[in-house]
A and B are shown apart, each in its own frame.
Chain A
Amino acid sequence: MTLSLSVVLAVSALMFGLGVYGALTQRNAIRVLMCIELVLNSVNINLVAFSRYVGPDQALGQVFTVFVMTVAAAEAAVGLAIILMVARRKAHIDIDQINLLKW
């Protein structure tokens, strides 16, 4: 019993859109990281769905999802460490004010 491929892809597309919107517009750096997790999750569900529907002779999509999760975990850890550093030095994490690398 499964949803059809189109429905799963539509759910993933909506999640992707919300994640992109959040990552571009949120002011709080932690929320930006969460929105990026949302985008990565929408990619994961796409990979798993295609693995089930299009190429089920090998679980390639599922294996690739593990690598996406690994990168997501590493990205969250490093990103949160950077946010902690910024909060320690500047006492805020407003990404509009963190403009050291802006030209």
Chain B
Amino acid sequence: MIAVLWIAGALAVAGALGVVIAKTPVHSVISLVVNILALAALYLSLHAEFMALIQVIIYAGAIMILFLFVIALLTARKDPVERSEGKLEGQRELGIVAAVTGAILMTAVALSAGFGRPVAQEALPSGFGSPAAFGRELLTTHILSFELTAFVLMAAVIGVVVLVGQRKL
């Protein structure tokens, strides 16, 4: 059982690597889906059942399909928009420095800091992470933030319509 989780962690990292080194954008999307599904497995092991569910439905289901649609729109024409494969040469060293510094710092903190003993399985509140407990938390304690996300999504929808939907009705 624990081996499955190690495989999920390795798949998450491999998917992330695939996003960066993939030859075409479609392969990047597929790698990102692998990464997201592996993360959903990790969520399940961390007692976040509801999070795993919406990770699969929203991320792998909705956002990745959005990416695929845009890639299909932009690359299925006579002159595909991606002409020059590859990286921005001037920023490669800078990117490597930033990425390695960030990853090493975070890993060092994660490995060195004693976060105390993990909470035992039995000490978790019953139903921790289940849809019922999650919904109660979201719709009672954090109701204001929850309502405000509706405004964020509304602003995004209006922005997209203003940007792309220019055809006169």
Contacts and interface: CB of A to CB of B under 8 A. Distances in A.
Interface in B1-21: 1-2, 5-6, 9, 12-13, 16-17, 19-20
Interface size class of A (residues with CB under 8 A): 35 or more
A10 B110 contact: yes
Interface string A76-98: 11101111110100011111100
A66 B54 contact: yes
A62 B66 CA distance: 24
A24 B51 contact: no
Interface in B102-118: 102-107, 109-111, 115-116, 118
Given A20-B95, A35-B19, A85-B164, A70 B9 contact: no
A13 B5 contact: no
Given A15-B35, A87-B74, A56 B123 contact: yes
A20 B32 contact: no
B118 to A, nearest CB: 5
B103 A13 contact: yes
Interface size class of B (residues with CB under 8 A): 35 or more
A17 B103 CA distance: 5
Given A3-B42, A54-B116, A59-B128, A8 B9 contact: yes
Given A8-B9, A30-B25, A56 B39 contact: no
B124 interface: yes
B99 A20 contact: yes
Contact of A2 (B5, B25, B137, B141): B5
Among the interface residues B29, B85, B119, B155, which one has the most CB atoms of the partner chain A within 10 A? B119
Nearest to A75: B156
Nearest to B43: A48
Contacts of A37: 32, 59, 63
Contacts of A1: 1-2, 5, 45
A28 B71 CA distance: 11
Among the interface residues A5, A66, A87, which one has the most CB atoms of the partner chain B within 10 A? A66
A103 interface: no
- 7 residue pairs, one from A and one from B, having the closest CB atoms: A17-B103, A9-B110, A13-B106, A74-B156, A21-B99, A24-B95, A17-B99
